[in-house]
Structure 1
Amino acid sequence: MSDASAHTPAQAPATPVPHPPLHWKVAVLYMAAACMLALSQGLGQGFITANIPQIAGDLGITTTQASWLMAAYMIPRASLPLMLIKIRTQFGLRRFAEVGIIVYVVVAFISVWIADFRSAIVVQFLSGAAAAPLSTLAFLYMLEPLAPEWKMRLGLPLAMAMLLSGPSVARIVSPALIGDGGLTWIHLTVLGMAMVSLALVFALPLRPMPRMKVIQTLDFVTFLLIGFGFAGLTIGFIQGPIQYWMDVSWIGLLLAASVASLAIAVAIELNRTAPLLDIRWLVSPAILHLTATLFLFRLILSEQSTGAPRMFQVLGVAPSQLTVLFAVIVGATLLGALAVVGWIRPTRVPVYHILALILIAIGALMDGNSTIDTRPEQLIVSQALIGFAGMLFLPPAMMAGLISALSKGPQYLLSFVIVFIATQSLGGVIGSGVFTTFINHQQAAHYQVLIEQLTAASAQTTRAIAQQMALFSGQITDGATLKAQAVSQIAQTASNQAYVMAYNDAYRLIAAIAIFALVALLLHLLRDFLAARMTPAQPTTPDVTP
């Protein structure tokens, strides 16, 4: 970043108003409010991901159509945070918090009355927009009562643990809330948590910050360009694996238009004196390295969010059978947060990343031995390792980014948090899309091989057909129908087997990526060590202080 843009009016340092230390009981309330805000936004997103088939049935649409609901929710979640820094600065932190939570409650109330697909799309878009400030508020409420030395060490890991646990908690509670198949109780749960969050935000105000008029007309132009770019990438990577990338031309055109829109936005921002985003700082070597690290984390953690749940869905495992697995994942995530709290230091970030990559590689390799008989309890250890590793990886990486931001001035703290959240939202969508595309490709290849092996002349196929016919003989009397049912069942078993083999390939690919990243990190540390050893020691100045 150039010196000329270091202290522009839009990014002028904001000094907090002096505030007396909070009593420990009040501090606990602020941290509880942070947990409620984090879980509220996490559950809102997790309920959609975990219940796409139920939502499709409730609205009378296909699962392909229902996937547009996830896209509608994620579009504003990825782009809207880019404007929140200036909105907060111009209108004040308290008004930002209060208006944000009021909008969230209103949208949660409207969602109870969703009756058709079109209204669901609109409400999900509004829900994503209303949830965008909640992640920021969760961070602010978690950091608010803590002394400066504990903000990074305690507040950051706890806030991240709550934000990461939300989607898993949604999978734990969804089966009990759905009951007979309706989504009413899910909508009411979101509404209830939103109302509790509303009460907490109004009862526990954040420390006021000085206001400044920083929003400029050109900010909206840049925001619209970035918003379109992020929206196009979100839609492309959600619909691409579902619509099959090459089968529909509009996906490629949309992705090209998205990249062009982002390029125009970057060109505009580079020529502004008070940019919405400081591109020069974001493309500095340290921040680019951090961005690559965070994107790698999102990619390899897709194994947990996209891998195991969808594999078990293919195998016909009911959502209620997954509750124990995801409860263990939540527990491992919280234990990882406690481990980070106990030993986190800026100098130990590489050590945490080494341990995290080792655990992720081990967990992914363990998952790579799955079969069509694998059930959730057999993946508890591996998924717990990955959940624990996620917390060893993310908070230290984010701490490094925050330290880099704060070295430029305190005004960069919230800016980095907002950019981080937007990047992670988009990175999660891209990681899931890449992961799903790889699985679809591998499934088709494995299925072709299995079908070629199951030829009509094969003695093994003949025996399998006879076994299936014997199983259905008590239900079907017509010989031709009985044989057709047996062949159909064998084909379905082959399809499931091909999917499991594809997921095993994906798990092993994740392990290979983690191992490659581990080797690269070790080589990087070795290079730094050798460079330090070869650098001549600087002469020390004698201490003449009396």
Structure 2
Amino acid sequence: MAPNNWHLPWEQYVETLKPHERPMMPGSPATPDHSWPTRIMYAVTGLMVATVGSLGNGAITANVQNLQGSLGITVTEAAWLPVVFVMTNACMNLILVKFRMQYGLRLFTQIFLGAFVLVCAAHLFVDNYQSTLLVRAIAGMAGAGLSSLGFLYLIQAFPAAHRLKGLIIGIGLTSFAVPIARLIMPGLLQLGDWRAFYLYELGMCLIAWGAVQVVKLPPSEKMRVFDRLDFVTFALFAPGVALLCAVLGLGRIVWWTEAPWLGWAMIGAIVLLTAAFVVEYNRANPLINIRWLTGADMLRLFGAILLIRMVLSEQTSGAVGFLTVVGLGPDQLMGLFGVILAAMVAGTAVSAFTLNMEKLNKPIAIALGLIAIGAFMDSHSTLLTRPAQLYVSQALIAFASAMFIGPALMQGVVKVLTQGKQNLISFIVMFSVLQNVGGLAGSALTGSLQIIREKFHSNQLAADITSMDPQVVLRLRQLSGAYSSTITDPALLNAEGAALLGRQVTQQANVLAYNDVFLIISMLAAIGCVWVTITHLRPRWKAKRDAQRAAQQAPDSSAVASAVD
């Protein structure tokens, strides 16, 4: 379809489209049959836009300690930087879908790409914590728009028979940001600290903006969809989710029982979200269809998504934290993250090109099984474990993380198509919230368990250390011997040896704690795998029982008929 018809009014333009070229709903672009060179341009543009939208947050998440030193802030202040991005990103889809429906794709593209360019440029002039926090919040809103825009471009790159593959690849790209950031950040930080990365991000964003201006999306239908109560719901839902994200993101750092504001924030989140759900429950045309979302099938799906996002923290928080404890820096982890990125690419490709709409639970169960295997392998780590020993286990987890997203999304899309397109916004909102909140909940779970188990193992190990043990005395002499040429006072020398031994005990306790965390995650993933497998097989078991029952009833009916004859 030549783009010279795109200037026509929608009512005339839609008449020129074949049935498979028409959009599924208002706000989505038409999908005309493009030439292959045009499809390639759409694919490249979509890849670039989706990657740029999540790269900045991936870089900050992966290098938050480095940024903490650069800004001269505390650990707690640094933890707010990735959390505030998630707070704004998780809520934006509540209004983005309707914004596209009412105001069209063109305005949507200009606002969010323009906002992201301004955000990237602002980083070059920001040199204090407060401004950086504001910029990250705006980046979260702009990133949500760019993720959606990337999906829409990638869908254009595929023929009608394979269009769902573009959707799966588009959503899979969002998980590539952290490994890509891990690979490029060490070199950029050496060039010019964070300013070098901000320049790189701005350059990528400007290229993506130029590509979007050249490779335009086809027209979409516009219609009036906003209602006054939509803004009431958003005013309740957005701060409620933001407070929940703050509790999950900061709880393990300020500690759950030590900071009173965590309790007040949790109460506020419960009150606001409950009020939002009450408003939506009683609406004739709800923005979030609570009745539909609380159906048994949807609750099982959301439970599986939340579980997988939580157990995936084994890789994002657990493995990285463990390698940091044993003394490895970002430069030494590049090989591992190269393997993780390759596994994610493979997982996304397998998910897209083996999609079976009748067996969507199967790849989710496989993903949970792979996570269980990978986490169990990691639970045998020691102080001598290095990235090379984690390649296989982390590749399995990375493959699973990319593999599950597509089928999980398709389950919701299928239910939307069969039960009413008006539920699409409800599903997209909950899918986005669970992805974001699930990631924070997983990090909170992993971090809290690690801290608790580290204290336990530290006490256990310290209880066995006594000055009456000849091995302990020998170890103290070996450790203090490193300072014997500079410290002549025997008391100070013994104190230095004791301090070194204490650090080694703490390091060993941390390793044992991470092993416990990996084992717990493995068990959770295994239980989830069994649960999803049973959910997958239950309809088949029911069909088999019904067939057997029908077969048993058939001879009885034949015998009665013969007796009558």
| Correspondence 1:175 to 2:191 | no
Deviation at 1:89, TM superposition (A): 1.2
Partner of 2:558: none
Q: State which of 384, 403, 415 in structure 2 corresponds to 1:373.
A: 384
Instruction: Determine which structure has more spread, i.e. the larger CA radius of gyration.
Output: 2
CA contact (8 A) 1:269 1:277 kept: yes
One-letter amino acid of the structure 2 residue matched with residue 504 of structure 1 = N
Instruction: Identify if the C-alpha distance between structure 1 residues 246 and 415 changes in structure 2 by more than 3 Å, giving closer, same or farther.
Output: closer
Is contact 1:92–1:209 with CA below 8 Å preserved after alignment?
yes
1:198 aligned onto 2:209:
yes
Question: How many angstroms does 1:412 deviate by?
Answer: 4.9
- Report the TM-score when normalising by structure 2: 0.89
Please report how far the alpha carbon of residue 199 of structure 1 lies from its aligned counterpart in structure 2 after TM superposition.
1.2
How far apart are residue 397 of structure 1 and its match? 1.7
1:232 aligns with 2:274: no
Cα distance in structure 1, aligned partners of 2:38 and 2:424: 24
Structure 1 residue 321: deviation in Å? 0.6
Identity between Structure 1 and Structure 2 (%): 33
Deviation at 1:525, TM superposition (A): 4.0
Contact 1:14–1:411 under 8 Å retained in 2: no
Give 2:354's match in structure 1, choosing from 343, 346, 349. 343
| Structure 1 residue 411 displacement after superposition | 5.5
Deviation at 1:30, TM superposition (A): 0.9
Give the paired residue count: 527
TM-score (ref. length: structure 1): 0.92
Asked if the contact 1:157/1:391 (under 8 Å) is kept, the reply is no
Which residue identity does 2:271 align to in structure 1?
A
- 2: distance between equivalents of 1:473 and 1:181? 40
- 1:288 maps to which residue? 299
- Cα shift at 1:517: 1.6
Classify the secondary structure of the residue corresponding to 2:158. coil
State the partner residue of 2:51: 39
Deviation of 1:16 (Å)? 6.3
Contact 1:38-1:138 at 8 Å conserved across structures: yes
Contact 2:172-2:405 at 8 Å conserved across structures: no
Match in the other structure for 1:466: 477
**Which structure has more RCO (C-alpha within 8 Å, separation ≥ 6)?**
1
- Between 1:331-340 and 1:243-252, the stretch displaced more is 331-340
Partner of 2:561: none
Unaligned ranges ≥5, structure 2: 1-23, 554-565
Contact persistence 1:82–1:223 (CA under 8 A): yes
One-letter identity of the residue aligned with 1:112: L
2:103 — aligned with what? 91
Residue in 2 aligned with 1:421? 432
Instruction: Find out whether 1:165 has 2:179 as its counterpart.
Output: no
**Deviations, residues 444-503 of structure 1 (Å, cap 9, x unaligned):** 111111111122333232121111011232343433332222211111111111111111
Distance in 1 of aligned mates of 2:174 and 2:403: 15
Could you tell me whether the CA contact under 8 Å between 1:171 and 1:326 is conserved in 2?
Answer: yes
Matched, 1:124 2:142: no
Structure 1 residues 189-236: Cα deviation after superposition (integer angstroms, max 9, x where no partner) = 211121112112222222222212222222222112111111111111
Give the Cα separation in 2 of the matches to 1:197 and 1:518: 39
Shift of 1:287: 1.5
* Structure 2 residue 115 is matched with structure 1 residue 103: yes
Q: Retained in 2: the 8 A contact 1:139–1:159?
A: yes
2:374 maps to 363
Q: CA RMSD of the aligned region, Å?
A: 2.1
Is 2:273 aligned against 1:262? yes
CA distance change for structure 1 residues 471 and 66 in 2, over 3 Å: closer, same or farther? same
Q: Deviations over 1:335-374 (max 9, x none)?
A: 1122223322112323323322222111111100111221
Cα distance change, pair 181–500 in 1 and its aligned pair in 2 (3 A): farther
* CA 1:399–1:173: 2 relative to 1, 3 Å: same
- Mapped contact 2:117–2:206 kept (Cα < 8 A): yes
- 1:80 and 2:92 equivalent? yes
Q: Distance in 2 between matches of 1:276 and 1:224?
A: 13
Mean Cα deviation higher: 256-265 or 129-138: 129-138
* CA–CA separation in structure 1 for the residues paired with 2:99 and 2:425: 12
Structure 1: gaps (5+ residues): 1-11, 540-546
Displacement of 1:41 in angstroms is 2.2
Distance 1:120 1:150 in 2: 41
Give deviations 1:117-148, integer Å, cap 9, x for gaps. Answer: 11111111111122121111111111123223
- 2:304–2:532 contact (8 Å) kept in structure 1: no
TM-fit CA distance, 1:527: 3.3
For structure 1, which segment, 24-33 or 174-183, has the greater mean C-alpha deviation from structure 2 after superposition?
174-183
Structure 1 distance, partners of 2:318, 2:439, is 13
Q: Is 1:241–1:436's contact at 8 Å kept on the other side of the alignment?
A: yes
Indicate the SS of the match to 1:347. Answer: coil
1:115 positional shift: 0.9
Task: Give the drift of 1:44.
Answer: 1.1
Work out the CA distance in 2 between the residues paired with 1:181 and 1:454: 47
Counting only pairs closer than 5 Å after superposition, residues 403-414 of structure 1 correspond to structure 2 as 403-410=414-421, 412-413=423-424
Q: Residue in 1 aligned with 2:286? A: 275
Task: Please give the alpha-carbon distance, in whole angstroms, between the structure 2 residues aligned to 1:56 and 1:17.
Answer: 42
- Write the distance in 2 (CA, Å) between the matches of 1:100 and 1:31: 19
Deviation at 1:390, TM superposition (A): 1.9
1:418 & 1:31 partners in 2: Cα distance?
25
Contact between 2:304 and 2:528, CA under 8 Å: does it hold in 1?
no
Deviation sequence 1:149-195 (CA, Å, 0-9, x none): 2122x213322332111111111111111116721111112111211
Matched, 1:311 2:322: yes
Letter in 1 for 2:45: A
Closer, same or farther in 2 for the Cα pair 1:41/1:483, shift >3 Å? Answer: farther
From 322, 334, 346, the equivalent of 2:345 is 334
Cα distance in 2 for residues equivalent to 1:125 and 1:110: 12
Correspondence 1:515 to 2:526: yes
